[in-house]
Amino acid sequence: MEKPRNVIVRKLTKSEKKVLQRYTPNELAAQRLFLADQEAVLSIPTEAPGWVYNKTAADSFRHRVISGRFGNSSFLVTQENTHVNTNLKTYFRKPQNIKVTTEELRRFPKESPFKTRRFKTCSVVGNGGILNGSGCGEEIDASEFVLRCNTPPMDDKYWKDIGRRTNLITMNPGQVNFRYNSFGNKKKFEKIAFKRASKAFQEAKEAFLQDLSVYGDSYLFIEAFLYKLSAKRAFLAHQVLLESHAKYEVIFPHPDFIRSVHSYWNESGVVAPRVSTGLLMTSVATQICEEVHLYGFWPFHSDRNNRRLTEHYYDNALPSDAHKISEEFKQLQRLHNTGVLRLTTTACQ
């Protein structure tokens, strides 16, 4: 699925720029990060050369990461595995039950769109600054299915390094508040029909639809069940898309699946309040793809050639303390070296 032609990329609002600046280090701090990471990179072993897919190891990993409970039909919330009055337990901070209503059940697909599908090759594209100058775009697009994280920019100037295609894109529910001001509905989360005429709602809706337009007709993957407020924000975004007759199919990961993924990585040494979106999508990709290829996963501000890197390929905002990105990277290297997945941390040929 290629990026639609002639799409105008939306400029950041003043409030978005302000938040971005808050998390972006000044030049002195950025230089210190670069120097510190130069030292750190020296201690990081390189990935094993001559990568070969190991189906036995990959199948074993698929089974272990989900505790054998989930398959293509059940890692998403669907009308097959969820019913009216089902309690879905949130998985971040203090768990809370969300009772599924008739209206909410209609938001879920009747069955997983991946129930009977397994893709031969998939690219999971992280947003690391290592992508800049990588020339990996064509290789990324050559995969049968492309997953991207957290609605990153897809400007023309990045295509050579990040590719054009997107089949699944994730969105953090917090972005509904941060980017779209909860569609002018910050305090109340009733049905949004009464807000249609408001200027705040219209501006937020237009920004939302414009931002999503760069991903074509992708699946929109939203972690709704972090906690109760995230579910409200996710359903609000879904409602906007429904009322706008948008073409995106919104899918929500099952909270029990997320819990299983977190438990696996925690036991593997990634001890953190939450795994990153990149690691989560890597875990998801192993459930729907035969071969998983990773790009843009590199937790340092220096590459192996002492080239200074930004945090992301599009900005230098630092990540949340909720994640242990360096520990995650070590696990990805381990999986690369055992043939479970392929991790690309150098320029593509």
Taking alpha carbons only, the member of 176, 180, 171 closest to residue 201 is 180
The one catalytic residue among 238, 262, 293, 323? 323
φ/ψ of residue 48, rounded to 5: -60, 135
What is the distance of C-alpha 249 from the center of its chain? Answer: 16
Nearest of 275, 278, 274, 2 to residue 130 by alpha carbon: 278
Tokens at residue 346, please?
Answer: 């150098």
Please give the Cα distance from 332 to 334 (Å, whole number): 5
Please say whether the beta carbons of 169 and 222 come within 8 A.
Answer: no
Q: What letter does residue 198 receive in the DSSP assignment?
A: S
Helix, strand counts (H, E) of the chain:
13, 9
DSSP three-state, residue 4:
coil
Tokens of 65: 């990461």
Q: Which amino acid is at 263?
A: S
323 catalytic, yes or no? yes
Task: State the greatest distance between any 2 C-alpha atoms of the chain, in Å, as a whole number.
Answer: 59
Sign of CA dihedral 34, 38, 43, 47: positive
Contact call for residues 170 and 148 (beta carbons, < 8 A): yes
Active site residues: 323
